[in-house]
Chain A
């Protein structure tokens, strides 16, 4: 119980400060819109083809925009030695990490919920099974969040933090991204879902494995 309460306290703190400032979400949404615009120039295709690649485009947008939020996650604690204060507090590393994960997760899902309707309008792609698509979004986003927050903790004290985070996390995220892209493609184009159930398992396995691994190792990364 104490674990959960402390974790949620950290999550609430981050979310509260973000809601008051709205910096990261604004930047992230703007970035997502810019990418949507650029994709419209890069991929000027017929509607049928756009439907096929919509899953891929969508998850690229989510991954790129999400990185902006993930970068700030631990970096914002560097000011005024807040990170040292947090580490010196009775919080365990896992509680701090999980709290930040949850806050990042909520923020990225907000960005996604704003980007998805814009995507649908711009590209004239109406997903057939919206509820399932939302489930896929939730699953895939947790994978991105866990890896992103973990590597944000790792790179927090480095000079080239903003450069290193994307370089480190995108290769790691490939199983989750492939799974999410495939499932989104199937759900958007209306293809039969049965043969793609494997990807659900990949997503869930990815999330479970890396959440456990991150919770186990984050203390070493943060404290030593």
Chain B
């Protein structure tokens, strides 16, 4: 049953992405000032929203573990956070390439890229913490608390870096992508977002199952070593 869901989601996601790719390349006209590179927004923004959504749902999964003490919640939380981390990496890489074209530099400490980088660092720390703890219940407990701190902190990080950059404008102005797009150009964005969500869901389901296998292995090992 589960396998069928995963396969359906992946195929649907793939189909939407392929169809959207066609639309993006052929149907959407070039943006006036940026040229062809503008189309990267169709990957950059959906990846960003997917990863942020994932991090916050991961936090709620962690809270779910703390309330229920069921390790399955922890598996879900770890899987969601890992997939979101992958999408966050995509966001930063595509954002950096976009910046390279528009402003000529590979990296600029503007508000969005910096906040995203901080988010990335916090979740690298999350996975480092998970790897350092052997006991599953302690690992679940501590990573849940860390993800709560992380998600509360990310709001503050975002706002403070934004205000910092307003006071100290960098060499370039912010990417104002998304606000004020012509209506015809916006819909591929939302379709891509839907496709990314489905892809993320499929990957999360696979990862959760892998975490379950990992737990089964640990339990069998303990059982084997008990005799």
Contact = CB atoms under 8 A, between A and B. Distances in A.
Is any CB of A less than 8 Å from a CB of B in the complex? Answer: yes
Interface of A: 147, 150, 154-155, 157-160, 164, 167-168, 171-172, 174-175, 178-179, 182, 195-196, 198, 202, 205-206, 209-210, 213, 217, 220-221, 224
12 contacts: A154-B145, A158-B129, A164-B129, A167-B125, A168-B128, A175-B153, A175-B156, A202-B156, A209-B152, A220-B141, A220-B145, A224-B137
Contacts, number: 79
Nearest to A150: B149
B19 interface: no
Chain B contact residues: helix, strand, loop or mixed: helix
B121 interface: yes
Most A CB atoms within 10 A — which of B121, B152, B164? B164
B161 A178 contact: yes
Most chain B CB within a 10 A radius of its CB, from A160, A175, A196, A224: A175
Contact of B149 (A155, A175, A213): A213
Interface residues of B, number: 29
Given A178-B160, A220-B66, A213 B125 contact: no
Contacts of B152: 209-210, 213
A220 B160 CA distance: 29
Interface of B: 66, 118, 121-122, 124-125, 128-129, 132-133, 137-138, 141-142, 145-146, 148-150, 152-153, 156-157, 159-161, 163-164, 167
A174 B157 contact: yes
Contact of A168 (B118, B125, B133): B125
Contact of B145 (A174, A198, A206, A221): A221
Given A154-B146, A198-B163, A213-B149, A175 B157 contact: yes
B129 A168 contact: yes
Contact of B160 (A154, A171, A175, A196): A175
The 9 tightest CB contacts between A and B, nearest first, are A175-B160, A175-B156, A171-B121, A168-B125, A171-B122, A158-B132, A178-B160, A172-B153, A171-B118
Contacts of B141: 220-221, 224
Given A164-B132, A221-B142, A224-B137, A172 B163 contact: no
A198 B156 CA distance: 13
A224 B148 CA distance: 16
B150 A178 contact: no
Contacts of A147: 149
Contact of B164 (A171, A178, A205): A178
A109 B74 CA distance: 39
Nearest to A169: B125
Contacts of A179: 160
A109 B153 CA distance: 24
A221 B137 CA distance: 11
Contact of B148 (A158, A171, A174, A213): A213
